[in-house]
Every structure is written in structure tokens, then in C-alpha cells.
Structure 1
Amino acid sequence: MLEYLTMLLKKLLPLLLILGSLTALAKADEQETPVAYYHASVLMYHHISTSTPPSTSTSPADFIQHLDMLEKDGFEVWPIDRVARQIKRRRPMPDKVAVITFDDGYISVYKEALPILKERELPFTIFVNADPINEKRPLYMSWAELKEAQEAGGIIANHTLSHTHLIRKLDDETEEAWLKRVEHEIAANQQEIIKHLGSAPKIFAYPYGEYNPEIQKLVQKMGYIAFGQHSGAASPYTNITSLPRYAANGTSANPTSLRTKLHALPFPVVNEEPVTAVLDGSNRRPSLKLTVMPGEYRIKQFRCYGPNAELLQVSRKTLADGNLEINVTSDKDLHTGRPRYNCTAPHKTQNRYFWFTRQWLMPQANGDWYNY
């Protein structure tokens, strides 16, 4: 028996050495790849039409051009749940990964986008609200049409029951009652999707991209991964309850500017202040402080821009741990609504940018909200 085992070991030894070498090479490659490259560019669409509101619409011709660009530039289009798992587990992804998402479940997505996606066999996600579907509003897909989209490889995910502004409390509403209402908006919508379509992942998109730390904690407690509407690449540096997406509608549908965003990398931001993006209306020139790890970006060319593309004031200093502290301020009042600070810096050796966006939620000067 001993002689047999010795002979077997001699035969297996070369194979074991090869497997060990391959494992070591894979680990080394994983360690050498910067975590900033573990990212995906998530595209956000609404209407695919030329007869709907321009700010939330993408023409069918532009949509086809976007898909052609993804193919030409060598992007892999992944299902959203696969990307979410990789980010949550901090696992590597190829450098060029894109995700296609649609908010609200408009009928134009069924009529215009679905046939194209089916023909190209591309995965996609539609974030839906059950109320307008159940009310059979003409601009929205039906459950039968959503089932067809699901069978074509689409993921149907949660966008709240009624598409409400989650951050806004009702008159005389307590903190506890407000959070219960938010929880109901998410949980009841999930039940409706499962009831009509059989399944739904724990993936969520905030209506209007509006959230605050309290809602993020609730979403995490409910077991969801969540997406906003602020720009940037989704990566391990972005909070799993506020992953960014690039708008691909309205003026953002321009293929040239969209290509720049698709190839952008996430800044390795490890802290940002203030934690909440919700402002009270009294300070209309908010400051933003970022703590950023060293990376392959040209820090001297770090720039931030306001909502009207105006150049913001930036100061930076190196901290004792080697990280950078970057302070961003504006000398102009922000408008009411969802204004943004967009920050970029070019890559040291590649023709691409690092990208970070902070979307603010600004009420009127007296603190009141209105539907914008």
C-alpha cells in the first residue's frame, strides 16, 4: 500500500505544482490590480422616446448609438445583481463593465428598448412602482409586459410603491411614523413585484435619487443594495446603499460626453463630510470635505465644478496617514432642487478620468420643499 501511495504521489506532484502556481499567479494579479479598477459604469434611462419630456428621455437612435458604443469600446454588459455581488464582496471585475437600467417602467421601454435588447441578448434592469401599474396608467408597462421583459433576461426591481419623495416628512409626521411609511413604500412594492412576477432581488433605486443617512440605515436593515442618481462609477469605494449611476437621458444622452463617463474611474474616497446631502435651505453654499487615498490620478489637476459648470474653490493637504484631505467650496448660491458638485482628475498614464459627484438636496430658503 505504501509503495502504491508513493507512486500515486509522484504522478500527482507535477499537477499539484501547476495548480499551486496558477493559484499564486491569480492571487498576485488580484493584489496588483488597484481596487479602484473593481468598478462598473451603471447607465440610467427613463423614457426611450422622442415624444416624452426631453429631460428624462433618450431617443431610440441615441439608445442604439449607446449600445453600439459599448460594443465598440469593448464593454461587457452585466446583470445588475452580478455587479452588486462583486462590489459587496469587494471582488474584482473586468475594467470595462456596464449595466443598463431603466427607472419607472415606462411603456416606451417596452416598445422601443426591449426589442433591441432582446435582439442583442443584453441583460437589463427595470425599476418599477406598483401603484401606476395597478392603476393601468397609459404611460407605464403592464405586469404582463414586465413579465415579457423578465423572460427576455430583464431584472424587475424595486423603486417604491408610489414614487414618492422619501426624504420629505408629512405635516406633523413623527420620525417613527415617517420611517414606517418609507419602509411600507419599499416592502409593499416588493410584495407586489413578487406577486405578479414571481421573484424580485433585494435591489432598490431611490425615487429622484433622494435619500439621507436614516433611509440608508433602513434600506440596509431591510437587506437591500441601493442605487441613486448621482454620477460616478459603482465600486467598493461607494456605499452599498447609495451606488451611483450615470444618467443617459436628456443632455446626458450625448454620446461623446457619455463615453468619457463610461471610461471614468472612481476616486478612492474613504470619507466625505457632511454625511448627509440634505440641506436645510439656510446655507446655500455648502462645503464638501473628502478624504481620498493616493491613486493613479493627477492631483494637481483635480477640479470640481458647480451645477452651471462653474469652477469651484478647492484646497488640499496631505494627512499623517498619507491620505489627502480635499475641501470644496462655492462662492455662488446653489439653486433649489438637486444641484451637484462634480469633481474630476485625469489619470496619470491613461486617457481617462477619475470621477466623483456629490448631489445636494436643497429646499427653498425657508426650508420648505416643493415638487421640482
Structure 2
Amino acid sequence: MKKQIIRGKVLSNLSAVFIILVVLCSSSISLFSFHPQSFYKDQVAILIYHNISDSAKSNITITTDLFSKQLTKLKKEGYHFITVSDFKTFMAGGPVVDNAVLVTFDDGYKSFYQEAFPIMELMHIPAINFVITKNMDDSDNNPVPFLSRQDIAEMKQKDPAFAFQCHSDSLHSKQNDGGFLLTSFIKQTGKVESEADYKSRIINDTETCINKLQAISSDPIDLYTYPFGAYHKEAADLIHQGGIGYAFTIVNGLANRQDNPMFLPRINAGSPTISPDNLDQLIKRRVVDLQKKFDYVPVRDGVEQIGGTILQDSKKQISLYYNGHHYIVDLKALTVSENGHIVPLQKPLKRIGLKRTLSIGLDDLTKMMDAHIVYDPITQKFFDRTWSMAASE
């Protein structure tokens, strides 16, 4: 009798142990499934879209099916979609989730409301639409209809997480010679506008765009995407004076806090050739290695990898060309000059290693070249993601 009782207790204990193991295994699987791999930290992949349509065809138009599959793929892979408020908090020094993604649309097409909004709302994915505000005045009388004031107001009422920001009021056009209205002086009847008129025109246009959107939304209107992706430093300064705090480019990359907020990179997701798997890989390939620190870099590698030119003028000096600058390096004195003036460096030039490779401080090279030089861990090279002068929109 005692043996039967003991055998029963043993079997009972074994059953309890088995149940505990099953629970623990299930918990482990559950925990694993809710803790996807972290591809990147303290960075944000900002995606660019334009038009969503099942009938229209263009290099900036994708179908609702492709759009839905892209977003589903990113969610499945463990990306997290953030709001404009989350992004601003991050840029101001606050935390952001790992694998953060911010969805943006340029141009303010009506398809955003008709096709994209229902999909994103169902998937609980917020987005920003950068609106050409002059098109709100006559939204339907265009080959491709644009968002109206009522469309924007209705979306804001349905889901306040969706934001509507500036893509200029009247600058999304080109002059007859192909010049962009944001970055060039207007030429009319043989006359060119003055610098003062140019500055006033850009600031006024920015303020007009902000005011039109502010009349519809209570959100702060202080984000901007450059028309056609075209910009230069003066244009950026002028829209900043007009009230913009963050401006987005079409330079390919992930944004981080080291970026100039007026030159933020994005990743194109809105081409019909970009499959869900392609988009996943595009994001992962543009992760910046924030941990890798560089003190000195070889002058030749640093300049040529970002797209500059080095010419050996003589045995005594070399010339560096990039972004409108021409620097002369004196190989004997190990000094850098521009227009006959010595350029002050935070760190002296050095010859490093057995090959005595001429090297410069990365911070000095960045300042000299007027660039934002970052390291790409995939190609193991440096690149400048500050400047890009044209896009097809």
C-alpha cells in the first residue's frame, strides 16, 4: 500500500515537473517572439512615399498591395513605427524604440486619404504627409488630385497621430531653364531677382505654407521636405528663418541625433521596383555605426570616398577639391591652406603607420569639406550624406 502511495506521489511530481517545463518552454517561445532582433539603436529609418494607386503608373507610384505588404514585412521583422512627436523627442535627446521607422509622404496626393490612410489606420501605423499647400485651393482640378483642407481635417479627426507638414506653398516648380524655385533666383523678361527679393520670397513662401496648415491642424507646423529634393545651405537657412525646425532630404540613410536637423536623410520606399524584402535590406544597409570612433583618417581615403578629388601638384603639395572648396596641403610643413590662408585644425596633420600615410582628424576633415561624414559599416567606407540636388517627383 505504501509503495503504491509513493509511486503515485512520484508520478504526480513528475507530471507537475512536466507541466512546469511545458509552461517554461511556452514562456520562452512567447518571450522570444515578442523580443525581435535589434538591427539598430538610436537611429530612425525615415521612409519616403508619394502616390498609392492601383491604376496610375509611375516611378513614384506603388499599388495598395505592395504598400500593404511592405508595411506587413517590416512589422513582422520587428520594426517599430513612430509618430512625429516620438521623432522630435528623439532628436531632442530623448529615447526612441529600437528599429524605429517614421513613414513620410511627399506632395499631398489625395490617394493618401483614399488608399494609404485606411491601410495604415488598420495597421496602427502613423505617418506624416508633406503638403504643397497651394494645391489645397484647387485640389481636384489636377491630373492627379491633391488633398483638400477637408480631407486633412477629417483625417486629423479620425486619427490625431497622422501629421501634415510643409512641402512649400508655391515652390514645387521649375523655371524654364530647369532651375528650382527654392534654390535659384527667378529670371523674368531678362531680369534676375535680387538677393534680397530671393530671401524674402523663400521666407514668405515658408510662412504661407505654415499658416495654411496651422489653420487646419493644432499641431506645431515646423517640418519641411525640400521640393524635388533640391536645396543648399542658404535655402535651408531661409526656411529655418520662416519657422522650420526640421527639414528632410532625399539623401539615402538613417537619421540620428548627430545629423543637422535641417538636412535629415530618408530612404525611398515608394518605387514599384522595391519589394518588401528589398525595403528591409535597404534599411539594414544604411545603418550607421555609431559606436565606431575615428580619431584620424587617411586624407586620400577620406576625401575620395565622399566624392572629392585629390591632385598631386608637386612633391611639396597636394590639392583637395570638394563641395566648392579648394585646399592646398603643404607636405613638408603639414599645413592646410585655402585662398592663401592657413586653415586652423583641431589636430595637426600626421603621417601614420609604416607607410607614413598622411592622415587628418575626422572632425577637421568634416569641417573643411562642409560635409556630414559618416562611416558605412557595410561598405566599410566613409560617405557624405548632407548634399543631394535633385530627385524625380
- What range describes the TM-score normalised by the shorter chain of this pair? 0.5 to 0.7
Map 1:17-28 to 2 at 5 A: none
Deviation at 1:146, TM superposition (A): 1.0
> 179, 183, 188: which one pairs with 2:199?
179
Residue 389 of structure 2 corresponds to 361
Residue 189 of structure 1 corresponds to 209
Residue 70 of structure 1 corresponds to 74
Deviation at 1:320, TM superposition (A): 5.4
Q: Is residue 170 of structure 2 the alignment partner of residue 149 of structure 1?
A: no
Residue 346 of structure 1 corresponds to 378
> 17, 40, 46: which one pairs with 2:50?
46
CA 1:131–1:104 in 2, change beyond 3 Å: closer, same or farther?
same
Is the contact between residue 62 and residue 272 of structure 2 (CA under 8 Å) also seen in structure 1? no
SS of 1:106's equivalent? coil
Q: Which amino acid aligns with 2:169?
A: L
Is the contact between residue 161 and residue 186 of structure 1 (CA under 8 Å) also seen in structure 2? yes
Distance in 1 (CA, whole Å) between partners of 2:208 and 2:233 is 22
SS of 1:101's equivalent? strand
SS of 1:169's equivalent? coil
Residue 184 of structure 2 corresponds to 168
Deviation at 1:262, TM superposition (A): 2.0
> 243, 256, 260: which one pairs with 2:281?
260
SS of 2:96's equivalent? coil
Gaps of 5+ in 2: 1-39, 174-179, 308-320, 325-356, 367-373
Residue 306 of structure 1 corresponds to none
Q: Which amino acid aligns with 2:210?
A: Q
Q: Which amino acid aligns with 2:101?
A: A
Is the contact between residue 80 and residue 100 of structure 2 (CA under 8 Å) also seen in structure 1? yes
Distance in 2 (CA, whole Å) between partners of 1:147 and 1:38 is 33
CA 1:322–1:54 in 2, change beyond 3 Å: closer, same or farther?
closer
SS of 1:197's equivalent? coil
SS of 1:94's equivalent? coil
Which protein has the larger Cα radius of gyration, Structure 1 or Structure 2? Answer: 2
Q: Which amino acid aligns with 1:346?
A: I
CA 1:78–1:201 in 2, change beyond 3 Å: closer, same or farther?
same
Deviation at 1:186, TM superposition (A): 1.0
Map 1:65-104 to 2 at 5 A: 65-87=69-91, 89-104=92-107
Query: How many percent of aligned residue pairs carry the same amino acid?
Result: 20
RMSD: 3.6
Is the contact between residue 214 and residue 221 of structure 2 (CA under 8 Å) also seen in structure 1? no
Is the contact between residue 58 and residue 248 of structure 1 (CA under 8 Å) also seen in structure 2? no
Deviates more, 1:238-247 or 1:135-144: 135-144
Distance in 1 (CA, whole Å) between partners of 2:382 and 2:287 is 4
Gaps of 5+ in 1: 1-35, 278-285, 290-316, 327-341, 363-370
Residue 22 of structure 1 corresponds to none
Map 1:308-319 to 2 at 5 A: 319=359
Is the contact between residue 100 and residue 124 of structure 1 (CA under 8 Å) also seen in structure 2? yes
Deviation at 1:155, TM superposition (A): 0.5
Deviation at 1:118, TM superposition (A): 1.3
Map 1:326-341 to 2 at 5 A: none
Deviation at 1:144, TM superposition (A): 1.1
Distance in 2 (CA, whole Å) between partners of 1:354 and 1:114 is 38
Distance in 1 (CA, whole Å) between partners of 2:156 and 2:229 is 24
Map 1:104-123 to 2 at 5 A: 104-123=107-126
SS of 1:55's equivalent? coil
Distance in 1 (CA, whole Å) between partners of 2:121 and 2:358 is 50
The Cα offsets for residues 301-331 of structure 1, whole Å up to 9 and x where unpaired, read as xxxxxxxxxxxxxxxx7745477969xxxxx
CA 1:149–1:355 in 2, change beyond 3 Å: closer, same or farther?
farther
CA 1:288–1:211 in 2, change beyond 3 Å: closer, same or farther?
closer
CA 1:354–1:46 in 2, change beyond 3 Å: closer, same or farther?
farther
CA 1:356–1:40 in 2, change beyond 3 Å: closer, same or farther?
farther
SS of 2:164's equivalent? strand
Residue 128 of structure 2 corresponds to 125
With structure 2 as the length reference, what TM-score do the two structures score? 0.61
The Cα offsets for residues 240-268 of structure 1, whole Å up to 9 and x where unpaired, read as 00101111122563323211222231356
Q: Which amino acid aligns with 1:130?
A: T
Distance in 2 (CA, whole Å) between partners of 1:252 and 1:239 is 30
Distance in 2 (CA, whole Å) between partners of 1:217 and 1:358 is 14
> 241, 247, 263: which one pairs with 2:268?
247
